[in-house]
Amino acid sequence: MKRAELAFIPAPGIGHLVSTIEFAKRLLDREDRFSITVLIMNAAFAPTNHSLVQSIAASHTRVRFIHLPQVDPPPKELLFKSVEKFITEFIENYRSHIKETIINRVLSASLPLAGLVVDLFCSSMIDVAHELGVPSYVFFTGNAAFFGFMLYLPIRHDQVGIEFRETDPESAIPSYVNPVPPGALPSLALNKEGGYISMVNHGRKYKEADGIIINTFSELESQAVSSFLIDGIPPVYTVGPMIDHKGKTPAGDNQANHEEIMKWLDDQPPSSVVFLCFGSFGSFGEPQLKETALGLERSGHRFLWSVRLVSRDYELAKPTDAHNLEEILPLGFLERNRGIGRICGWTPQVEVLAHKAIGGFVSHCGWNSILESLWHGVPIATWPLYAEQQTNAFQMVRDLGLAVELKMDYRLGSGMLVMAEEIEKAVRCLMESDSEVRKRVKEMSEKSREAVIEGGSSYASLGRLIEAIMANNTESARK
């Protein structure tokens, strides 16, 4: 039986790394002819999550990790002007290391190299695959609709030549059911500091890949998947939802917090708690925290609220847990809501969403979070912050009817304040027990689980991908 090696090149960042590793695990569980090497880039200003890497390495002997040398990041000022351009340039600085590592430590192994699987921000590595004479596959950690937006960017740019503007009319993008208003576009589309043009170039490059792998399932995004069935777009393989059901193993104080949170949830009635959590980089200033507290209190619902403050350590740029809530939140809020609500910092999101007490999720609409909530049948109220989260919120509310609109056009750093009345209204709507959104989410939950088992759409799509990789590998070997 012919065996082959795949080299995975994820972007630095926990969300990208987790999704990539989940896909690698699923591929190996399905196909024992593969071995996988993951090339790990160090994040620019924060350490790579070595504990995650080590736990995977210990449990999956056919996954090995190679840590690449540190490279100099672009000037830090660029990070605050355009995250997308910063990441793109930072990854480009790794290109020679990646090529040398593949030649010296991957190609030299006994197994033939069947291809490179590159992150959506690593499209320049498609050229490395060309130089090495092997196929390339883009692993797109966002959703299919946003991949369609990325394909739309270079087409639009060739027509108009400039960034989107807030005064533009709605955009008819083939991967979305409804025209997308400028307020629901990701910030990168409006960025004049290099973010927009960086993503235009990524969108062009994707068409040179041998296949596109997306963490979604066709029943969820049928409009987007159908829009890819035209000439010039590589084969698209929908292989999701890929979810890390175990989550990150807590340590230290987080272990104690984890146990307290789960015990508190155990004591709550089924579907009675609204969960607020905004991802690894989600944080708010004190005025917004006050409004959120008032909105939650007025809603009358039980709540579990992950509160993070903007970090003063811009070197790491990650939020910090709040320790002086009495000084930040409205006077008497903590006392009045003792037993009704619980405020925490770090939260075991996957485990919380799986708990029977959770009835709704106020979320930043990161794609991993959306997939997790759908899997567990928990409806979302949308509160996007950055990246492509605005378009995710738009799609969930307007195109799919799977979420309640709290906000769709909120952006971190915009100065926008979401008022208590808006939060109260959205939470009340979210927690309605017999709402149409809740019914639709329950139905999609069942479809998400069916998609990944034998006979399901994603199971079949993964099979086609495996066949394509092995066929391309055979073709490469003949050359």
Beta strands in 316-372 (DSSP E): 320-321, 341-344, 358-363
Tens digit of each residue's pLDDT (9 = 90 or more) over 227-266: 999 999 999 999 999 988 776 555 555 777 889 999 999 9
Residue 281 falls within a domain, yes or no? Answer: yes
Residue 61 falls within a domain, yes or no? Answer: yes
pLDDT of 427 higher than 50: yes
Residue 428 falls within a domain, yes or no? Answer: yes
Q: Are residues 440 and 458 in the same domain?
A: no
DSSP 3-state percent helix, strand, coil across the chain (nearest 5): 45, 15, 40
**C-alpha distances in Å from residue 354, one per residue of 148, 219, 274:** 30, 22, 13
34 pLDDT band, cuts 50/70/90, is: very high
21 pLDDT band, cuts 50/70/90, is: confident
CA angle in degrees (0–180, nearest 5) for 242-243-247: 150
Residue 398 falls within a domain, yes or no? Answer: yes
pLDDT of 317 higher than 60: no
pLDDT of 312 higher than 60: no
DSSP state, 103? I
- Which range marks the domain in which residue 363 is found? 253-445
49 pLDDT band, cuts 50/70/90, is: low
Residue 355 falls within a domain, yes or no? Answer: yes
Q: Are residues 398 and 277 in the same domain?
A: yes
pLDDT in the model for residue 52: 65
316 pLDDT band, cuts 50/70/90, is: very low
Residue 245 falls within a domain, yes or no? Answer: no
Q: Are residues 226 and 349 in the same domain?
A: no
Q: Are residues 320 and 417 in the same domain?
A: yes
pLDDT of 356 higher than 60: yes
pLDDT in the model for residue 287: 94
Out of 80-89, 250-259, 286-295, 298-307, pick the least confident.
250-259
Q: Are residues 268 and 150 in the same domain?
A: no
pLDDT in the model for residue 248: 58
Please give the share of the chain, as a percent, with pLDDT higher than 90.
78
**C-alpha distances in Å from residue 316, one per residue of 52, 79, 186, 311, 385:** 19, 12, 23, 8, 18
475 pLDDT band, cuts 50/70/90, is: low
Beta strands in 162-238 (DSSP E): 211-214, 236-238
pLDDT in the model for residue 472: 81
CATH code (residue 260): 3.40.50.2000
Mean pLDDT of 277-292: 92
Is residue 44 within 8 Å of residue 90, measured between CB atoms?
A: yes
Tens digit of each residue's pLDDT (9 = 90 or more) over 319-337: 767 678 999 999 999 999 9
Tens digit of each residue's pLDDT (9 = 90 or more) over 120-150: 999 999 999 999 999 999 999 999 999 999 9
Tens digit of each residue's pLDDT (9 = 90 or more) over 406-425: 999 999 888 999 999 999 99
Give the total number of structural domains in the chain.
2
Residue 54 falls within a domain, yes or no? Answer: yes
What's this model's pTM, rounded to 2 decimal places? 0.94
pLDDT in the model for residue 346: 83
Distance CA 291, CA 410 (A): 15
Residue 295 falls within a domain, yes or no? Answer: yes
pLDDT of 1 higher than 60: no
Q: Are residues 413 and 438 in the same domain?
A: yes
